[in-house]
Amino acid sequence: MFALNLGLVFVAATSALAVNPRIIERTTPPTTIATVDNFENRGCFVDTEAGTLSFELMDLPTMTVDKCVTVCDAAGFILAGLTGGTQCVCGNIIKGGGTAATIDNCAVACGGDATTSCGGVRGKRMLIYEKTPVVRPSVVTTNIGEWDSVGCFSDSQQNRALHHDGGGSDGQTVEDCLNTCAAAGLPLAGVESGLQCFCGSAVLNDHLQLDATKCNIACAGAPSEMCGGLDALNLYKVGDFAFTSGVAQIPQAMGDWTFFACSQEASSGPREIPTSMNITIENMSVETCLNACSAAGFNVGGLQFGQECRCGNVALPAGAVMDDSACNIACTANANEFCGGRGANQVYFLPTAEFTETA
């Protein structure tokens, strides 16, 4: 019968470990470097599909923390991020404010140094280093050309404070956004979340001024500048432009015009109020629309979706009458007025208008 010599097995096993360091590497997690040159470890963060930092500069099989920090610093960035052991990403802000993860989630060894960590699973976790001394935007840029700072205002993805999306970029500065809005002919500009830009003619949807501390995110392209916050924007206006903000309502009368009802737009076929008026979205208000209808000789006017104006000489009601709450979108040029709704006309008439017997 074969006899197993446990002593020989133990010696063989320990000898295998001695000559095969990869076995040790798999059982000993890589360490996290605290500082590299003048960059300090900020921690492990959840990486998202949109990206946590903005610019991928290297993907090397021989990646090390030092290589990533060096290339980001040379490119003028204050943040360096590593993920997947080989990928290096740089930027000036952590997008969306960042979601911290436990440091043991960043335990993928660097391709060029198996003893140190270069982040976590690619696309899932990122190890971030920040340049010191830390750059923080100290004050809001108050005057840039003809633009003046108004303050920090609330915003939301569902109901924007400014109606025009200026795009923004991963290299955005305050000046970039102001130039975008100026080119669009809009007197209000707002920067948000470090890399978003919005423009408009009024602060819509009852968004109000916030404490300045709510706007606390640096610009992605200029970390010394402030570019809003999470659901908060730094607002700028051209010169002495007077803008509206606050609660909207349906004006019940406007000169000789009287509010009739909120009525349903046809889902197909001809429109209930036939003639579309050529008014730019940025200038839409109840006054602007009804003045255009009067000038064109119409006695019925309707507004829809906050930015559309239609006129006609049609008998009322033009479409099924709805509850007034269906007309709930503020006018793009006047935050204090509603200008119809989605598929809902906010209808006005002059004394010369006709009504059907069922009106």
Dihedral, CA of residue 270, residue 273, residue 277 and residue 281, to nearest 10: -90
Rounded to whole angstroms, the Cα distance separating 47 from 52 reads 5
Rounded to whole angstroms, the Cα distance separating 130 from 89 reads 12
Rounded to whole angstroms, the Cα distance separating 274 from 276 reads 7
Model pTM above 0.85: no
Residue 267: the pLDDT is 80
Place of tokens 């970390």: 223
Q: How many CA within 13 A on the CB side of residue 274?
A: 7
Q: CB 243: neighbour CB atoms within 10 A?
A: 18
Residue 317: the pLDDT is 92
Q: Which residue blocks in the chain are alpha helix, DSSP H?
A: 6-19, 21-27, 65-74, 174-183, 286-295
Which stretches of the chain score pLDDT less than 50? 1-25, 359
Residue 266: the pLDDT is 83
Q: What is the pLDDT of residues 295-342, one digit of tens each?
A: 999 999 999 999 999 999 999 998 999 999 999 999 999 999 999 999
Both ends of the chain: CA-CA distance in Å? 107
Residue 331: the pLDDT is 96
